[in-house]
Structure 1
Amino acid sequence: MIGVAGVPYIGRADHRAAVAAAFAEPGHVILICGEAGVGKSSLVAAARAGAATEVVEGSCLQLAGQPLPLAALEQIFYARGGWPDSADGAEQQSAEQRLKAIRQWADALAPAGSPTTLTLVVDDLHWADETTCDFLVYLASTAARRRISLVITMRNDEAPRVGRVQQACGDLARLPGATNVELERLTRQECGELVAVLTGATDVDADAWYERSQGNPYLLGELVKDPGARRVKDVLLSRVQALGADAAELVRLAAVFGLWVPDDQLHSASVLPDDRYAAAVREAVDVGVFVVEGVDYTFRHALMCEAVLSQLLPMERRKLHERAARAMAEDPGDDLSTAVAVSVHWEAAGRPAEAAAWGLRAARKARRLNAYAESWGHYRRVLDVARRGADGGPELDLVLEAAGVARLGGDPTTAAGLLEEALRRDPVRGAERATALERLGCYLWEAGQTERSRAAYAEAADALAAGRGRPGDAEWRTTTSRNCTSVHRRSTRRPSSPRPRW
């Protein structure tokens, strides 16, 4: 979270002035880049202390190496009362509907001409997903008329998991009012100043402290607290190694939850009695491993969380992830991040069936939010689990769902491939086969495979004629038959793509 490292901010006056402007007036877009521990969060916290604007923040999150889709946006909108209602016609999902949803989210957060000036802080953009990137770029491009400024932090020592992140950084940097802040490590003199502030000493060997920390402010702060540490890992784990058995186990459990964890979920997963749990949490807070954020606990710094995870054995990880999954599944709510997190925990615990069940919930939730790229990612993992199952592959209804989302995400070729694979494996007949073939024809048409599209539509018409139909399907049968027959009879000139009936 923003500003929890606990290290005083030294120097960088120009950077502080640039970021402070975003907390004073609208129209600024600040992208702060730097390695872990270099002071991005501390810079934001120092500037935010004098904010004259309303501040809303959210953090992009990752769990077990996977980004949590829309995590930052869920935090932002839940702080404002929840996701905006779906746009008109959202149940008729389309690629255009996704763009309409992004505009609607922006209007709900910061309507044009609003009398209130808002500063939006988004942490850890390197863990963002495609939809979050699209939303931030759109919001930033309309920042002035919405009376909003954006402050975004990003680690540049970790490659983003989603290619759209790098593109979004370029899009943001080119906008009017954009400022790119590249944070470098502290100089030798600044290292000496920071050590003097932390220790109260007047005679500081700046060169020695610089050589040990290489100018990284967070590592320098930890070295001051434990001067005997020799390795970076020892520095990061020095606080953890001072904990008792219960507190140390609690910290390991919290690390698999991610950078932050709600108190009730950590308590449930810990299986400790109330008194021992309270004592363990208090110990972790007192030594500076945990920081209390409302009803949540966060690690003092992401580097500390990563260091704890690096110490876990594979079997320990699996067991801890299983405990986390069970705790989160007890009261999961209806948010996307929780569904994704439970799925990831089950996957990391080596339980693919449970992971797929929660992954399907996440896929459908993301689809309802018009986040098609993220939805397709979850459908893809669910399909992979089904292919490895005893039944030999996913059911046709699931494939139809997934293919539709792949197509809405801009990949009709993959959508067509899914249906062709399913039809080869599952010899359904009648109306079910006609439905699948009609959609296959549409996806092939959009993929530019005209002849194969016509063949699919022709086969769909034949299957429809041979089938008995379903109760209440008279209108569907008439429309589908007309669509299939008309496309099959058209000339070689390629018209616009017909819409699939879904």
Structure 2
Amino acid sequence: MRAVVSPALVGRQADLDALHDAYADSITGSSRAVLVGGEAGIGKTRLVDEFLRALPEQAIVLRGQSVDLDRDAPPFAPILSALRSLAQEVGEQALFDASGPAADALALLLPDLSLSASMTEGPIRGSAERLYDAVAELLENVAAVRPVVLVIEDLHWVDQASLGLLRFLIRVIEDSRLLIVLTFRSDELGRGSAMRAWLPELDRNRRVTRLELARLDRRQVREMATAILDGTPDEDELAQVYLRTDGVPFFVEELVCCSGVQSLDGFPDTLRDILLARYDQLADTTQRMLRLIAAGGVRVEHELLIAVCDESPDAIDAAASEAIAASVLVVDDTAYAFRHALVREAIHDQLLPGERVRFHTRYAQALLDQSGAGAADATAVSYHWMAAHNVREAFIASIAAYQQARSAYAHATSANMGERAIELWDQVPDAAQLAGRSKVAMLGDTSYVLRNAGESERAIALIDEAIAQCDPSDVQVYALLLRNKASYLANIGQTGSIELLREALLVLEGEPRSVLRANVLGELAARLMLLARFDEAIEMADGAFVEATAVDNRPRMSVASNIRGFSRLAGGDVEAGLADLALAGELAVGNDSARLRYWVNQSDALHLIGRYEEAVRTAEEGAERARQRGVERTSGAVLLSNVVSPLYALGQTARADEMLDRALELDAPIGFSANLRRLKVQSVLWSGDRPLAERLLRDWRGSLRLQQRMDSQCMLGVALVSGELALARGDTAEAWQHASVLIDPEHRSFPAYDLPLIALAARVVAVARTTGVALPDASGEPSPPDELERAVRSAFSLAERWPTASGYSAIVDAELGGPRGTGTDVALWERAVSVVRAAVAPAQLAPYAGFRLAEALANAGDRAGARTWAQTAREWAEAIGLGLIVDSVTELERRVGSISGDHRGDTPDDAGSLENLLTERERQVLDLIAHGLSNGKIAEQLFISPKTASVHVSNILRKTGATTRTEAAYLAHNTSH
């Protein structure tokens, strides 16, 4: 055996340059991430090693390795390794000082550090996001002194907690001297892989570079073989190497380094044989030790190896030395690691059944002995007991791992361990005693953790099992399970929450007053409020307030007053609603959960009644508290949408767009992100990019449709943007399909959200009158436009007292004004412009009204006035980034014609050019002829009389020499091509 690898890095110069470029960018204060993917053996680690070797001494290199223990990877394993290295580099005190106010959360993650115990003595305000903040601040502060390169390898094995933290770091750390390098096997990302789901987000991030390492071609294999052999290889042997390795560098190295390369008969037959070629030539004792190490993972600490191995230390050293000399093992700080994970996997497959049981038993016991039962890495212990088929010990370790991971906010790992304990439950006679809870409680607790891990569907499956096994006479437990299932359903946009909450109330009927009953009543009120069933919501909220008062629970009193207040306000009793919301704010003091709910509804209420600046301030305060508390992806996402909405209403489009994109990156569950998605579609449409808006709505329609069934705000908001999109593409019938939810007999009045939809419906009716498109009534039968107008005005009458109604009232009157009710009355549009400029109205209404006034003036023949108002509308629209109106103004100006457009001479500069032969207006008429429009329709499009249109057509026929309109259209088509 040759104990060498290729001294040259072959075929990777461009990739190496990309890493160095990323580092160069990072040290300027612009953080970067590089994702290195490729199949097993392709050379990811070798590339990273070469890169790190060339870094200046100033750089701090932190390295972490994901653990290959099937689904049992300890939470934050690769991150912990990197942070411990950082503690050694800068000192423990500096480490915790740099992590900021969340140092106690970091101490929970690193309990083995000497300073951690003193930091975790008292109560800790914790959450995953708080821990994420601590790590982010730590890296930013350290990188302010020296550049930091964080390398995490083998992300295909990574635990969900580490993945969530890495995702957070890459998203939030922008201006820091930090480079994050991640490696993963791209051929091991299955359909359900979290890493696979993360890749599209990384690809969209401008600060992330993705490298996909390719196999070597024949020339590069020759170059590698020459470097290894320090001479020219035999061409026949080289052909066999290339054929059997297919250009995978690790296999090339192994095959070229094998003994017997001088004879083709000596080549291993399979890739497995290549992987085991070095192993097979080692002494029996060394092979046995390698099998023992393989049972421990890709990396095993020296002290742990001594604890599990029954050989003497000298024998271990001798065996390790032989394995290292043969390039099977490498020394990694205080541990032994396989030179490549593929070798470890191949050797692990050599374990005999008896060896598997013995070796994994030794590892489990040694881990417990070294750290003590309370401090051991319980997930690794559980893995080894499971591999050793020791059900009882695996159960005990799984319960411990469940608790450990939950304390560290590693929800996915905690849920995995909880589910394992449930699977083993019936095989352990005293399971309830060992677990310290009943099976029903374990099912309920694990379902809650699954919900926190973002696995609501699995959470529902588990809680269904808990409900099925729970004795209904155990009233408190049974009612709580029903209440929790209602919450899980709501999170994923599924119906059924109201029925479950009503059932929970029946279960609690006759029971003493309780916080649980107040909670159920409050949540039922909230569900009814979202469906705009405001009277029922107020009734339930009253009951919740009475119940919470009886048990002296101020947070539940706050929530009840909060929901009652918003329901009163949304139903039209604005002053009473605001008073209730103010009371909710007072009662919420000292309880973050209640305060967040207050901030959500208070900011939403202020926005809906037109107090936009107050709404922004209130929502921003709540969003910051949500971030601090670690609920940025839930309550925080809703509060961010409550910042964005009034910013758009104020015309602060750039700021709103930036905040909206940041909020969407949180990837919040649909129950919390629906409004963000709807706002994104609307903002893209307003910007003028209709195709992108169409695509976004198409991509999100399924999830939004789920939320619409249980959220009236979502339903009306999506109907509005869908109708606007349909109208923008000229589909009047579809636009009415969305807007007509207003005249559905089952529609419940929600004035704040009805008003913009009423304005859209009025516009659609006017367009239908102009184009002759038949629109259906509530029963689906075609209905005369006058009847539909009455229905629209009836809907408005229910909302006319809303604080922002005056602007929409003027718009609706103008949309339906004019002799034929098609929105052509100049005076009404002049009034609309005046009202929306003076009243409390979203900033987008003024440019729109100005544009429509310009259209009305053009229709009335006042082309000069039309041009003036078109320019005004353009300026207003450009000031707030309303590209949709800018584009409409541009089209209107084209149709009206420029000031000098009709006074051009008829003498062409080039008689052979149709462009020069016709005036600008005649070219516009010819284009409409080519689209098959009659003289009357041409007149409508260009705001001219039919007689003038006829004159233009005659001039076109004369100048082009065409004898018919069809021939002129043919000339226009050929000229445009």
Does the pair score TM above 0.5? Answer: yes
Match of residue 85 from structure 1:
104
Q: How far 1:46 sits from its partner (Å)?
A: 0.9
- SS at the partner of 1:305? helix
Match of residue 7 from structure 1:
6
290, 307, 316: which is aligned to 1:268?
A: 307
For 1:319 and 1:66, how far apart are their aligned partners in 2? Answer: 19
Match of residue 155 from structure 1:
185
- Bigger CA drift: 224-233 or 191-200? 224-233
How many residue pairs were aligned? Answer: 480
Q: Deviations over 1:382-406 (max 9, x none)?
A: 1111144446974444344323312
Contact persistence 1:458–1:484 (CA under 8 A): no
For 1:64 and 1:5, how far apart are their aligned partners in 2? Answer: 31
Decide whether aligned partners of structure 1 residues 428 and 332 sit closer, same or farther in structure 2, where only a CA change above 3 A counts: farther
Match of residue 60 from structure 1:
66
Residue type at the aligned position of 2:239: D
For 1:144 and 1:404, how far apart are their aligned partners in 2? Answer: 33
Decide whether aligned partners of structure 1 residues 453 and 163 sit closer, same or farther in structure 2, where only a CA change above 3 A counts: farther
Decide whether aligned partners of structure 1 residues 112 and 45 sit closer, same or farther in structure 2, where only a CA change above 3 A counts: closer
Residue type at the aligned position of 1:313: L
Q: How far 1:138 sits from its partner (Å)?
A: 2.3
Match of residue 498 from structure 2:
450
For 1:56 and 1:479, how far apart are their aligned partners in 2? Answer: 48
Q: Deviations over 1:7-26 (max 9, x none)?
A: 33123221110012334441
After superposition, where does 1:157-172 map in structure 2 within 5 Å? Answer: 157-160=187-190, 163-172=193-202
Contact persistence 2:268–2:277 (CA under 8 A): no
Larger RCO (CA under 8 A, 6+ residues apart)? 1
Contact persistence 1:22–1:150 (CA under 8 A): no
Match of residue 29 from structure 1:
33
Contact persistence 2:72–2:379 (CA under 8 A): no
Q: How far 1:460 sits from its partner (Å)?
A: 3.6
- Bigger CA drift: 38-47 or 215-224? 215-224
Match of residue 127 from structure 1:
157
Decide whether aligned partners of structure 1 residues 236 and 335 sit closer, same or farther in structure 2, where only a CA change above 3 A counts: farther
For 1:423 and 1:175, how far apart are their aligned partners in 2? Answer: 43
The reply on whether 1:106 has 2:117 as its aligned counterpart is no
Contact persistence 2:415–2:450 (CA under 8 A): yes
For 1:124 and 1:371, how far apart are their aligned partners in 2? Answer: 19
- SS at the partner of 1:145? coil
Match of residue 533 from structure 2:
none
Contact persistence 1:434–1:461 (CA under 8 A): no
The reply on whether 1:410 has 2:454 as its aligned counterpart is yes
Contact persistence 1:400–1:436 (CA under 8 A): no
* TM-score normalised according to structure 1 size: 0.85
Q: How far 1:5 sits from its partner (Å)?
A: 9.1
Contact persistence 1:31–1:181 (CA under 8 A): yes
Q: How far 1:50 sits from its partner (Å)?
A: 1.1
For 2:22 and 2:382, how far apart are their aligned partners in 1? Answer: 37
- Bigger CA drift: 295-304 or 236-245? 236-245
Match of residue 310 from structure 1:
349
Contact persistence 1:25–1:117 (CA under 8 A): no
For 2:233 and 2:473, how far apart are their aligned partners in 1? Answer: 85
- SS at the partner of 1:121? strand
The reply on whether 1:214 has 2:246 as its aligned counterpart is yes
After superposition, where does 1:311-326 map in structure 2 within 5 Å? Answer: 311-326=350-365
Decide whether aligned partners of structure 1 residues 6 and 342 sit closer, same or farther in structure 2, where only a CA change above 3 A counts: farther
For 1:481 and 1:10, how far apart are their aligned partners in 2? Answer: 69
After superposition, where does 1:229-244 map in structure 2 within 5 Å? Answer: 229-231=267-269, 232-244=271-283
Residue type at the aligned position of 1:441: R
For 2:80 and 2:514, how far apart are their aligned partners in 1? Answer: 42
Identity in percent: 26
- Bigger CA drift: 165-174 or 291-300? 165-174
- Bigger CA drift: 152-161 or 9-18? 152-161
Q: How far 1:325 sits from its partner (Å)?
A: 1.5
The reply on whether 1:479 has 2:503 as its aligned counterpart is no
- SS at the partner of 2:175? helix
For 1:389 and 1:327, how far apart are their aligned partners in 2? Answer: 23
* Structure whose residues are more often helix by fraction: 2
Q: How far 1:196 sits from its partner (Å)?
A: 1.4
Q: How far 1:179 sits from its partner (Å)?
A: 1.8
Q: How far 1:424 sits from its partner (Å)?
A: 4.7
For 1:411 and 1:219, how far apart are their aligned partners in 2? Answer: 39
For 1:319 and 1:288, how far apart are their aligned partners in 2? Answer: 27
Q: How far 1:343 sits from its partner (Å)?
A: 0.5
Match of residue 77 from structure 2:
71
Residue type at the aligned position of 2:251: L
Q: How far 1:90 sits from its partner (Å)?
A: 8.7
Whose Rg is larger? 2
Match of residue 869 from structure 2:
none
Contact persistence 1:32–1:40 (CA under 8 A): yes
Residue type at the aligned position of 2:515: T
> Structure 1: which 5+ runs fail to align?
466-476
**Superposition RMSD on alpha carbons, in Å?**
3.3
- SS at the partner of 1:312? coil
Match of residue 171 from structure 2:
141
Q: Deviations over 1:133-157 (max 9, x none)?
A: 2322222233431221111111122
After superposition, where does 1:463-474 map in structure 2 within 5 Å? Answer: 464-465=511-512
Decide whether aligned partners of structure 1 residues 17 and 491 sit closer, same or farther in structure 2, where only a CA change above 3 A counts: closer
Residue type at the aligned position of 2:479: L
- SS at the partner of 1:157? helix
* Structure whose residues are more often strand by fraction: 1
For 1:32 and 1:114, how far apart are their aligned partners in 2? Answer: 26
- Bigger CA drift: 220-229 or 331-340? 331-340
Decide whether aligned partners of structure 1 residues 406 and 390 sit closer, same or farther in structure 2, where only a CA change above 3 A counts: same
For 2:220 and 2:522, how far apart are their aligned partners in 1? Answer: 75
Q: Deviations over 1:276-330 (max 9, x none)?
A: 2232222222222211112100011111111112222334323322222222221
196, 206, 214: which is aligned to 2:226?
A: 196
- Bigger CA drift: 44-53 or 62-71? 62-71
Residue type at the aligned position of 1:410: G
38, 46, 55: which is aligned to 1:51?
A: 55
237, 245, 249: which is aligned to 2:288?
A: 249
- SS at the partner of 2:187? coil
For 1:5 and 1:336, how far apart are their aligned partners in 2? Answer: 40
For 1:180 and 1:395, how far apart are their aligned partners in 2? Answer: 46
For 2:350 and 2:358, how far apart are their aligned partners in 1? Answer: 14
Contact persistence 1:59–1:75 (CA under 8 A): yes
Contact persistence 1:420–1:440 (CA under 8 A): no
Contact persistence 2:467–2:482 (CA under 8 A): no
